[in-house]
Homo-oligomer: A and B are copies of this chain.
Amino acid sequence: MTKLRIALAQMNPTVGDFPENVKKIISYIKKADALKADIIAFPELAITGYPPEDLLLKPQFIKDNIDALEKVRTASKSIIAIIGFVDKKNSSEHEIYNATAVISNCKLIDVYHKKYLPNYGVFDEYRYFQRGTRYPIYNIGGVNIGVNICEDIWHEGGPVKVQSTFGANVIINVNASPYHVGKAFLREDMVSKRAVDNKVVIAYVNMVGGQDELVFDGGSFAVNRSGEIIIRARQFKEELMFFDIDIEDLKSAHKFSAKKVLEKYGEAVEEIKIDFLIRGNKPEIKVQRFVKPSAMEEIYNALVLGTKDYIKKNGFKGVIIGLSGGIDSSLVATIAVDAIGKENVQGLFMPSLYTSKESYEDTYRLAKNLGIKVTNIPISDIFKMYLKTLARDFKGTETDVTEENIQARIRGNILMAFSNKFGWLVLTTGNKSELSVGYATLYGDMAGGFAVIKDVPKTIVYELCNWRNKKEGRDVVPERVLWKEPTAELKPDQRDTDTLPPYPVLDSILKAYVEEDKGFDEIKRMECEVECIQKVVRMVDHSEYKRRQAPPGIKITPRAFGKDRRFPITNRYKSY
């Protein structure tokens, strides 16, 4: 019984790092070759990393990417390699394609061009790429295989349908599909449906790793013709995964094959015969099928990987975090320790005149639980000096949010001073609920290089801490932090609820307004007062200017701030 062995390289490339990406690709090819895989598939744009954004507008970048592919080509001997890269038409114009190379025996056999270009959410592919117009089908040792890219498979009548209609029995879909909670389920459901509808085996290989605001979660998998998952990679880790297909079995399902032009759009179906002998005497392999984690575990792992990769890929060794004894900074410190190790995480406790004994205790307890160092830098002397310096000009004015912000910005300045002096990246600690309504100080607690939990609603911040404590079997985040009332401690007896509705209410309004684009009439049907909804909506609309200057952070919801939600600052639209 001859088997076709397919390897899926769930790889973590770095945007623009051609030498390292090529090295990684070649090392995976060697490993797959050693296990006598016939085919190895890499993620979308594995050569360049994803998304390269406006690097794609540089002709030199495109040329360097093609040179990088050349290096991979000459290293691919006894295995067919399917590799994502940027293809270019041989013309003077800058006409480029999101493409996959099909390499066999050190020869570039064919190049597939992505047909469906996503241009919504975080995606801008129409900004860069032309659409493909060909549906190649590769005949590899008698098996007809269709290759397509990411978004292509989400379209019911798209390449999978055409390629399978014209004879493909196996589809390899290569991806750089960014994470949000629950996305892995959506992908598997959809791919499973495509497999059943088109009677094909589908291999789905995804990228893994963090890139600025995005985390690619991996979770590559394959489904059989009945739509059952036959193999599934871990999320958030690099993996080289194998599965075998019985060729006789495929032949029994063999459909007609044809070379035909689909005239409607001038698009072409082509059968391309690849001179390749399926390899015999394959060593045994263990088929992986990881169980999918819970939502909290998934989100937590996404945050750890996104943080780790931002730090490492940007060349930082350590981070510094302003610790307040509150739940947000506790979570961020915990994530940082899980990402890069306790020895590389430095805490900074910066008490104000209004900081409580509890905050002090909880900060040091957290630090002890995590095994990280904390430096204590009181800000009250500096604050008093600001007040003195400003006294003449502020004479006769009431104390207001100004004085709160001065303190937050002193902390920002001190954190940045440590960053400048010792080269540590500052992680900010604001959550999505705060950022949505602008309950944060620009250049104050918003100051830093990476905003780990900026897309995590406050209610989920609690759940994540609970999950993390439970996983550890002991308190990592001190127990009191989980139940004491949230406060910014920037004036006497301050509570978040002085300004905001309780977080469960706030988060449900924010989900409806920010993530689901619901109109005011729809949100009004929710169980909270109209005035409260109006206030929240107004706060969201009026704090766009702050979000524009916020550091990047990891997308974990279906709609994050940043590239995912592009709002005008100058905006007089009133939806309430």
Chain A interface residues toward B at CB < 8 A: 14-18, 20, 51-55, 57-61, 63-64, 119-120, 124, 126-127, 210-212, 309-310, 313-314, 375, 377-379, 381-382, 385-386, 388-390, 393-394, 397, 400-402, 405-406, 409-410, 412-414, 416-418, 420-421, 442-443, 447, 449, 517, 519-521, 545, 548-552, 565-575
Q: Is the CB of B442 within 8 A of A420?
A: no
CA distance A550 to B566 in the complex (A): 16
Give the chain B neighbours of A127 by CB distance below 8 A: 119-120, 124, 566
Give the chain B neighbours of A402 by CB distance below 8 A: 417, 420-421
Closest to A419 in B: B402
Q: Which of B61, B310, B412 contacts A409 (CB 8 A)?
A: B412
Copies held by the complex: 2
Closest to A517 in B: B58
CA distance A175 to B242 in the complex (A): 55
Q: Is the CB of B60 within 8 A of A412?
A: no
What are 6 inter-chain pairs, A to B, with CB distance below 8 A? A18-B573, A51-B568, A310-B570, A379-B389, A405-B416, A409-B443
Q: Is the CB of B385 within 8 A of A545?
A: no
Q: Is the CB of A212 within 8 A of B381?
A: no
Give the chain B neighbours of A212 by CB distance below 8 A: 568-570
Give the chain B neighbours of A15 by CB distance below 8 A: 568, 570-573
Q: Is the CB of B390 within 8 A of A60?
A: no
Give the chain B neighbours of A545 by CB distance below 8 A: 314, 449, 551
Q: Which of B18, B59, B443 contacts A443 (CB 8 A)?
A: B443
Give the chain B neighbours of A570 by CB distance below 8 A: 14-15, 210-212, 309-310, 313-314
CA distance A406 to B548 in the complex (A): 23
Q: Is the CB of B16 within 8 A of A572?
A: yes
Give the chain B neighbours of A413 by CB distance below 8 A: 386, 406, 409-410, 413, 443
Closest to A388 in B: B381
Closest CB-CB distance, A421 to chain B, in whole Å?
4
Q: Is the CB of B58 within 8 A of A16?
A: no
CA distance A413 to B211 in the complex (A): 31
CA distance A60 to B410 in the complex (A): 42
Closest to A60 in B: B519
Give the chain B neighbours of A18 by CB distance below 8 A: 573
Give the chain B neighbours of A574 by CB distance below 8 A: 16
Q: Is the CB of A58 within 8 A of B575?
A: yes
CA distance A263 to B316 in the complex (A): 59
Closest to A120 in B: B127
Q: Is the CB of A572 within 8 A of B17?
A: yes
Q: Is the CB of B377 within 8 A of A389?
A: yes
Q: Is the CB of B517 within 8 A of A16?
A: no
Closest CB-CB distance, A64 to chain B, in whole Å?
8
Closest CB-CB distance, A550 to chain B, in whole Å?
7
Closest to A209 in B: B570
Most buried by B among A64, A120, A126, A377: A126
Closest CB-CB distance, A243 to chain B, in whole Å?
32
Q: Is the CB of A551 within 8 A of B549?
A: yes
CA distance A406 to B409 in the complex (A): 11
Q: Which of B60, B397, B401 contacts A575 (CB 8 A)?
A: B60
Closest CB-CB distance, A56 to chain B, in whole Å?
10
Give the chain B neighbours of A377 by CB distance below 8 A: 389-390, 393
Q: Is the CB of A420 within 8 A of B400?
A: yes
With A417-B386, A569-B314 as contacts: A412 and B443 at CB distance below 8 Å: yes
Give the chain B neighbours of A552 by CB distance below 8 A: 548, 569
Q: Is the CB of A566 within 8 A of B126?
A: no
CA distance A422 to B365 in the complex (A): 41
Most buried by B among A58, A413, A517, A550: A413
